[in-house]
Chain A
Amino acid sequence: MSPNLSLYAALALYAAGTIVALATLFTREKRPQHIALGTMIAGFVAHTVWIGTICVRTHHPPLTNLPEAAGFMAWVIFAIELALFIRYRVHAASFFVYPLVLMLLTVSAVVHEPFVKSPAAISRLFITHILLTTTGVAGLLIGLAFGGLAWAQDRALKSKQRGALWDWIPSLNVCKTVSYRALSIGFSIYTLGILAGILWSYRTSAELMDLRVKQVGAIVAWVLFAIVLQAYVNDTYRTRRTAIIGACAFVAIMVAILGIHHV
Chain B
Amino acid sequence: MPLIAVGVNHRTAPVDVRERLSVAPAQMLETLEELRALDGIEGAAVLSTCNRVEAIVSAREDVIEPIVGWLTERAGTARSEIEKHVYILRHGDVLKHLFRVASGLDSMIVGEPQIGGQVRAAFLASRECGTLDSLLSQVFDQTMRVAKKVRTDTGIGEHAVSVPYAAVELAKKIFGDLHGLQVLLLGAGEMGELTAEHLSAFGLEQIFVANRSYDRAIELAERFHGQAVKFEGIEPYLATCDIVIASTAAPHFVVESEHVHRALATRKRRNLFLIDLCVPRNIEPAISEIDGAYLYNIDDLQHVADANRELRQTKAVEAEQIVDREVDAFRRRLIAQDAVPTIVELQGRLEDIRAAELEKCLRKIGPMNAEQRAAIEQLTTQMVNKILHYPILQLKEAEEPAERETLRKTIRKIFGLR
Residues 160-188 of chain A: 1 if any B CB is under 8 Å from the residue's CB, otherwise 0?
10100001001111101000000000000
Tell me, yes or no, whether B373 is within 8 Å of chain A by CB: no
Q: Are A173 and B174 also in contact (CB < 8 A) when A157-B294, A160-B296, A162-B307 are?
A: yes
Tell me, yes or no, whether B363 is within 8 Å of chain A by CB: no
The reply to whether B175 and A173 form a contact with Cβ atoms under 8 Å apart is: yes
Q: Are A153 and B153 also in contact (CB < 8 A) when A160-B303, A235-B269 are?
A: no
Tell me, yes or no, whether B170 is within 8 Å of chain A by CB: yes
The reply to whether B271 and A172 form a contact with Cβ atoms under 8 Å apart is: yes
Q: Are A29 and B153 also in contact (CB < 8 A) when A157-B294, A160-B303, A172-B173 are?
A: yes
Q: How far is the CA of A174 from the CA of B172 in the complex (A)?
A: 10
The reply to whether B153 and A30 form a contact with Cβ atoms under 8 Å apart is: yes
Residues of B within 8 A of A157 (CB): 170, 173-174, 294
Q: How far is the CA of A157 from the CA of B274 in the complex (A)?
A: 12
Interface size class of A (residues with CB under 8 A): 10 to 19
Tell me, yes or no, whether A212 is within 8 Å of chain B by CB: no
Q: Give the residues from 281 to 323 in chain B that come closer than 8 angstroms, CB to CB, to chain A.
A: 288, 291-292, 294, 296, 300, 303-304, 307, 318
How many whole Å from A74's CB to the nearest CB in chain B?
29
Residues of B within 8 A of A31 (CB): 153
Tell me, yes or no, whether A117 is within 8 Å of chain B by CB: no
Give the number of residues in B that approach A within 8 Å (Cβ atoms).
25
Residues of B within 8 A of A236 (CB): 291
The reply to whether A160 and B300 form a contact with Cβ atoms under 8 Å apart is: yes
Residues of B within 8 A of A162 (CB): 307
Tell me, yes or no, whether A59 is within 8 Å of chain B by CB: no
The reply to whether B176 and A171 form a contact with Cβ atoms under 8 Å apart is: yes
The reply to whether B153 and A171 form a contact with Cβ atoms under 8 Å apart is: no
How many whole Å from A228's CB to the nearest CB in chain B?
15
Residues of B within 8 A of A30 (CB): 152-155
Q: Give the residues from 152 to 172 in chain B that come closer than 8 angstroms, CB to CB, to chain A.
A: 152-155, 158, 170, 172
Tell me, yes or no, whether B268 is within 8 Å of chain A by CB: yes
How many whole Å from A195's CB to the nearest CB in chain B?
29
User: Which of these, A160, A170, A171, A235, contacts B268 with CB under 8 Å?
Assistant: A235
Residues 103-129 of chain B: 1 if any A CB is under 8 Å from the residue's CB, otherwise 0?
000000000000000000000000000
Residues of A within 8 A of B269 (CB): 176, 235
Task: Using CB atoms, name the residue of chain A closest to B175.
Answer: A173
Residues of A within 8 A of B154 (CB): 29-30
Residues of A within 8 A of B291 (CB): 235-236, 238
Residues of B within 8 A of A235 (CB): 268-269, 291-292
How many whole Å from B244's CB to the nearest CB in chain A?
15
Q: How far is the CA of A176 from the CA of B173 in the complex (A)?
A: 12
The reply to whether B292 and A171 form a contact with Cβ atoms under 8 Å apart is: no
How many whole Å from B154's CB to the nearest CB in chain A?
8
The reply to whether A173 and B155 form a contact with Cβ atoms under 8 Å apart is: no
User: Which of these, A158, A160, A167, A173, contacts B176 with CB under 8 Å?
Assistant: A173
Q: Are A174 and B176 also in contact (CB < 8 A) when A157-B294, A160-B300, A235-B268 are?
A: yes
17 chain-A/chain-B pairs, Cβ below 8 angstroms = A29-B153, A30-B152, A30-B153, A157-B170, A158-B294, A160-B296, A160-B303, A167-B155, A167-B158, A171-B174, A171-B176, A171-B177, A172-B173, A172-B174, A172-B176, A174-B176, A235-B291
User: Given known contacts A167-B155, A176-B269, what 13 new A-B pairs fall within 8 Å (CB)?
Assistant: A29-B153, A29-B154, A162-B307, A171-B172, A171-B174, A171-B175, A172-B176, A173-B176, A174-B176, A235-B268, A235-B269, A235-B291, A238-B291
